[in-house]
């Protein structure tokens, strides 16, 4: 996942990657299967499920907290942006309209009172259904009259 740092630079988050299971060793899928079996039937222990799926206990313990099934709720993503907006009528509504045009769904807005005709605004929005890439939305927001500073805080 790409993330823009505070200086506008792009860097990659290397902690997690999404990989098609067809290119991974079968052991990862078996560990997930074992975890799901134990979740479905709490009477089953590690020894029993690893025997049932055909892996060793040591393999299970090596990977059990490293592999997870991808579920819909994990696909939903949020972005948080921070901006300095000029204190002029319509700036925030134009910004919100821009997010909506990209099919972003605003989750939270935090706005400080304007000081010296500028307000600090932080918005978190759902980006899982964006109709264009996030970097295009960021460029669109930068182009809004009254947005004097824009920073992507993070994407999760």
- Predicted local distance difference test score (pLDDT) of residue 91: 94
What does pTM read for this prediction? 0.55
Please write the tens of the pLDDT for every residue from 137-150: 999 999 999 999 99
Round to whole Å and give the CA distance between 145 and 68.
44
Mean of pLDDT values over 69-74:
57
Strand partners, 121: 83, 111
Structure tokens at 143: 């182009």
pLDDT band at residue 42 using 50, 70 and 90 as cut-offs? confident
Q: 50 and 63 in contact (C-beta within 8 Å)?
A: no
Round to whole Å and give the CA distance between 137 and 156.
17
- Say how many C-beta atoms besides its own lie within 10 A of residue 1's C-beta: 14
Mean pLDDT of the chain: 86
Rg (CA), the chain: 22
| Strand, coil or helix: 30 | helix
Q: Residue 131, CB half-sphere, CA atoms under 13 Å: how many?
A: 7
Please write the tens of the pLDDT for every residue from 45-61: 999 999 999 999 999 99
């Amino acid at each position: 996942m790409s993330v823009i740092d505070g200086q506008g630079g792009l860097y990659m988050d290397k902690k997690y990657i999404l990989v098609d299971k067809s290119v991974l060793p079968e052991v990862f899928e078996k560990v997930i299967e074992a975890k799901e079996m134990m979740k479905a039937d709490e009477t089953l222990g590690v020894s029993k499920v690893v025997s049932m799926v055909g892996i060793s206990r040591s393999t299970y313990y090596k990977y059990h907290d490293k592999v997870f099934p991808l579920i819909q709720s994990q696909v939903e993503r949020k972005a948080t942006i921070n901006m300095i907006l000029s204190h002029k009528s319509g700036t925030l509504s134009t910004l919100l309209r821009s997010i909506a045009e990209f099919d972003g769904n605003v989750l939270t807005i935090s706005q400080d009172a304007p000081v010296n005709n500028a307000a600090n605004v932080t918005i978190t929005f759902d980006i899982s259904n964006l109709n264009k890439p996030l970097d295009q939305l960021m460029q669109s927001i930068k182009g809004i009259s009254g947005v004097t500073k824009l920073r992507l805080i993070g994407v999760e």
